[in-house]
Structure 1
Amino acid sequence: MVSPETPSASISAQRPVAAVIAVVERQGHLLLVRRGNAPDVGRWGFPGGKIEFGETVFEAVVRELREETGVRGQALYTMDSVDVLVPGKGRLARHHYVLIAVKCRWLSGEPVAADDALEARWFTPMELGSGQWDLSDRVMDITRQALQP
């Protein structure tokens, strides 16, 4: 029998954490937040967070969008998923998040950083591609998908 203290037991008990990111476009601009917490502290990414037990993906993305930015949105469809693996010791991940990217329609509100966001603002795709912003992984991939007709 494997004791709870052995690495193989603790690894097998870990599970990826399901989370959402809101991909909100308004007049050719995309809404991003600068993260205040790990992972990605200080980097710019789409607003979002963990899905709560009993909450649908669409409910979670609308809630997280409102909590982080004050913006009201309507979830339209799931776009993509992003694996975020936070390194641990050796080859093992300390944390594993699966971010579900959801395209959202802007309904109302101007972004104000709240919850765990340090800043919130609208960006043009050109600004995001300029290289002057420290972006979270896959932001540009998801930006391209979001702006496809």
Structure 2
Amino acid sequence: MNTYEITLKDNAYKYNNVAVTFNLDSVTDEKDDKIFNFKVTSTFDNQSVSTDLALFKSDMQQLQQFELKTGMTDINFLEPDLYLSVIHLEGDEIILYVHYDSGMLYSNTGTDSGVAVKLNVTQHAFLSFIDELTGIV
């Protein structure tokens, strides 16, 4: 399988090294579903946090249908390893939080607590990232 890697970088990436990368490891075909297995890594300063994430076809379809709204929207997936918070500000600016569940990272138990990495991105960059991510369906 060819490497499929999608990265969204913070507007100030040159200075803060903040980014999130979805690296597709494999695709599993189930009876009525397809499962996309990713290694998701966020970098910040000189550190990183990563987790394995299985996105189901329904998760990808949810992302394809995502519409930006003023205010905050959470994007949750069937697997609790991570979720996204999108805050659409006036104009073209978006704040994206990538929330990693510590319980899933360390003991395979969902806890709704853990590291959140904040990215400041443009609307165009975020929507392009979503389009590229869901383009593999």
Q: Please give the TM-score of this superposition, normalised by the length of structure 2.
A: 0.29
Point out the structure with the larger strand share: 2
Larger radius of gyration: 1
Q: Please give the TM-score of this superposition, normalised by the length of structure 1.
A: 0.28
Greater relative contact order, per chain length (Cα 8 Å cut-off, separation 6+): 1
